[in-house]
Amino acid sequence: MGGTQSLALQQGKGPHQVGCTDVMVGHSWQGLFLRLFYPCLPQGGAEQPLWIPRYEYCAGLANLTPLSCCAPLISLTLGSCRVPVSWNGPFKPCSTGYPLIIFSHGLGAFRTLYSSICLELASWGFVVAALEHRDHSASATYFCTAEDGREEWIPYQQVPQGQKEFYFRKKQVHQRAEECVQVLQLLEDISSGKSVPNVLHQDFSLSVLKGGLGRGSSALSFLQGSIDLSRVTVMGHSFGGVTAVLALVKEPRFRCAVALDAWMFPLENALYPEVTKPVLFINSEKFQTPESIAKMKRLSSRNSQTKIITILGSVHHSHTDFTFLTGKLFSLIFSARGTLDPYKGLEITSQAALAFLQKHLNLQEEFAQWDNLLEGIGDCVVPEAPFCHPNL
């Protein structure tokens, strides 16, 4: 049923080659774990990172499917899939610093499952920090203890029996938004020259000071002076989409948010008036409800720069890398494919996001050429949602 499974991610279409590395700080669940995507210098024969970096993530994904025993199958068929970026590639210096995007994953996902959109945005000149949340919403994650470096795994947690889902998810979304703020604070510390060790003792030296690369260190000082902290945004998918909206309330330095098919359910009503910054909602055709769109419109009614668009032919997982799986088996398991070509969906998403970010981060780029997408004008795009659109 399905033939060979592989991951057909493409290289970014922007002018920069893309590198990535993993960063872990702290020795408890209160620390941070993220994958950084960044513009890098060309490097012949560069290693490409695994898409699913550890077997434990396969087990976590399996537990969220109807086939909870299929972890070995996921590992066997997808465990060798790689992401087309340069693993620990040499950072490309930028005198003005790159704008920063902090990315929040959806329920049951983890830091690598949005590599397609993260590497695409990095190729256009952004540093993208893809978080792995520790609120028990990742399919699996871990931290390393201080004493012996032992890994402590944090499993996915279902809503406890007898507890209302709203209150459980509300607590999680607040933790997630706080973690987004912590990432910004971490990068600000590094940018100011503070020494921050990377718990993951990798070969790659993260100690580039505006140009040179060293090896054998786990410092993060390569980012010193490399990020423009006046141009910072937060982005996410599903649970991560509403996390991005809440992060705007918690941190004034976030200038805007991009929410991919946001799951608005966990955001309490009292917070809507506090979301004063612009949000770009990019929705799939098959996930949102009239009630959810109404919540988004509460925000757009307060800020004319908040936009809501829908990509026709897309489904909820169209924003994830699962949509690029070439075999039928896992596409069926994860309901990953709509009728829209996945590359077209990625192009619409990234171009709309870039146009929005140019406007609200005051970038001097050519991204305004895609401004029409922000009004829902273009191939496979409509404003708001199909059930709200008069012509559909």
Q: Could you say which of 137, 261, 284, 319 is catalytic?
A: 261
What's the first-to-final CA gap in the chain, in angstroms? 36
Q: Could you say which of 207, 226, 238, 331 is catalytic?
A: 238
| Residue 238 is a catalytic residue | yes
CA-to-CA distance for 392 and 374, rounded, in angstroms?
19
Q: Which CA distances in Å does 121 have to 206, 258, 355?
A: 21, 12, 12
Q: What is the token pair recorded at 136?
A: 């028990």
CA-to-CA distance for 273 and 42, rounded, in angstroms?
46
CA-to-CA distance for 233 and 239, rounded, in angstroms?
17
Q: Could you say which of 16, 316, 317, 319 is catalytic?
A: 316
Q: What is the DSSP string of 47-77?
A: ---BSS-SHHHHHHHHTTSS-TT-HHHHHHH
Which distant-in-sequence residues (6+ apart) come within 8 Å of 329 by Cβ?
1, 2, 5, 77
| Residue 341 is a catalytic residue | no
In eight-state DSSP terms, residue 11 is -
CA 347, distance to chain mean position in Å, is 16
| Residue 379 is a catalytic residue | no
State whether residue 231 is helix, strand or coil: strand
Q: What residues act catalytically?
A: 238, 261, 316
